[in-house]
Amino acid sequence: MTKAFFFPEVGLPVNLEAKSHQLFSRYAQLLLQRNQEMNLTRITDLEEIAVKHFWDSLALLKKMPTLAGAVLDVGSGAGLPGIPLKIAVPEIKLTLVDSLQKRVSFLQEVVTLLALKDVNVIHARAEDLAKEVNIREQFPLVVSRAVARLNVLLELCLPFVQVGGCFVAYKGPESEQEVEEAKLALQELGGEIAETWSYQLPGGMGERALIFVKKVKPTPAKYPRRAGIPAKRPIK
């Protein structure tokens, strides 16, 4: 028997409508189905998906309850955190970016199946996409979850953030250590730490953190470096 899907709203600043619960359920089922064909997630229990993927994605709304406007999700993978944010706040204009065509195809399938509007899915490496003038420094909010350590993420993501905007990195319990090793990257790329917020997932499923990085000046044109270099030679 398939385990029933239940989304835990405890601790969230939003009350999800019945339609949102249905969308999360369909999203979870599609994620599990396609996970048998491609590596989308190591988590295959519905309750853990609801908490560790969906609830965690929406934790941002505790700090940004009036989320609006354009949001870019870099290295979106299975659509996290972008798609849960879109389900909870349908008004945002969401762009999802991933470098692997299989994952991009999955994201397009999710967007179609859930009938999500104002969602753009792009197949590209962040290092290449950030060089395009029509997308560079155009987003008030950029998010990324489970992609790389912070000093690498900053080079991949800050070029997309408009000056005065914010980059939010979804992290685990080692966030303070990552902030410390990213000090030079922050200076180089035009960012500064606004806040690091730690929180507990419901049901004792672990500690997480959000690192809020304010874009205080334009990122130098030489960043990001060519594909693969930020991960191989992080700024430090």
Contact between residue 31 and residue 107 where contact means Cβ atoms under 8 Å apart: no
Distance separating alpha carbons of residues 229 and 211, to the nearest angstrom: 23
- To the question of domain 18-232 being in CATH 3.40.50.150, the answer is yes
- Render pLDDT for 195-223 as a digit per residue (tens, 0 to 9): 999 999 999 999 999 999 999 999 999 99
pLDDT attached to residue 13 = 79
pLDDT attached to residue 1 = 36
Contact between residue 174 and residue 196 where contact means Cβ atoms under 8 Å apart: no
Give domain limits for the chain. 18-232
Distance separating alpha carbons of residues 93 and 67, to the nearest angstrom: 11
Q: 131 vs 38, 120, 224, 225, CA distance in Å?
A: 29, 18, 8, 10
Low-confidence ranges of the chain (pLDDT < 50): 1-2
List the one residue out of 78, 131, 135 whose CA is nearest residue 102. 78
Tokens of residue 59, six digits: 């934790």
Helix or strand holding residue 27 (H, E) = helix 18-35
Question: What's the length of the chain?
Answer: 236
Distance separating alpha carbons of residues 6 and 47, to the nearest angstrom: 7
Tokens of residue 122, six digits: 């792009």
pLDDT attached to residue 152 = 96
Helix axis angle for 18-35 and 101-113, nearest 10°, is 150
pLDDT attached to residue 3 = 62
